[in-house]
Structure 1
Amino acid sequence: MPENFLDNVLASSVVLLVFLVLMGVVFTVWSYVKMRKKRQYFEKVHKELAPGQEVMFGGGIFGTVKEVDGDRVAVKVRSGATLDVSRYAIQQID
């Protein structure tokens, strides 16, 4: 094989390796930023829980907060039942 061909293969491999490393760094930074925003959102949601708020659980169940007692939250659902749930099960405040 000609020496020029081997040089081209080596150069292409180095460029591909640098590109893959760069993409890995970009993905890692993007994931970190996204996770940080999500963590801040949930901290805000869990701190702002108060009676009368409409909330949604992770499973898609909606209800109204009746009482907040530490990590336990009493939530009234449409059927009239009151559920006693962890405040961390609440995913969204409407």
Structure 2
Amino acid sequence: MVNWEVVIWTCITMAVLLGIAALILIFISSRNIKKKTSELKDLHLELKTGMKVMFCGAIYGKITKVKGDIVEVEVAKNVIISVSRYAIQSVE
């Protein structure tokens, strides 16, 4: 014979433990997202001519001109493209 009271309390205990674990994971990931967002914000504000950058699509280039939200980047010799400054993922 199954003791349903024990089964129910075990399920409740497991649900509470899983809920606590989920809250901890949400807290940690939200901190990491905020950190990464602030790093990218600083990166986008500090763009200057001559910096070597990488776009989100893994294209590398060198900044030739910064005007507002548009950045002109030389991706190959005499090949200059205009992109949004927010498309830049990292600076080398």
Are 1:73 and 2:71 counterparts? yes
Question: How many residues are paired up?
Answer: 92
Alignment equivalent of 1:18, drawn from 11, 16, 38? 16
Report the residue type matching 1:55 in the other structure: V
Q: Deviations over 1:60-83 (max 9, x none)?
A: 110000111000001011242011
- What is the TM-score of this pair, normalised by structure 2? 0.92
Structure 2 match to 1:41: 39
Question: Bigger CA drift: 72-81 or 83-92?
Answer: 72-81
- What is the TM-score of this pair, normalised by structure 1? 0.90
How far apart, CA to CA, are the structure 2 residues paired with 1:17 and 1:56?
44
Structure 2 match to 1:27: 25
Structure 1 match to 2:59: 61
Structure 2 match to 1:90: 88
Q: Which runs of 4+ in 1 moved over 6 A?
A: none
**Please, which runs of 5 or more residues in structure 2 have no aligned partner?**
none
Same amino acid, percent of matched pairs: 33
How far apart, CA to CA, are the structure 1 residues paired with 2:33 and 2:57?
20
CA RMSD of aligned residues (A): 1.2
Report the residue type matching 2:43 in the other structure: V
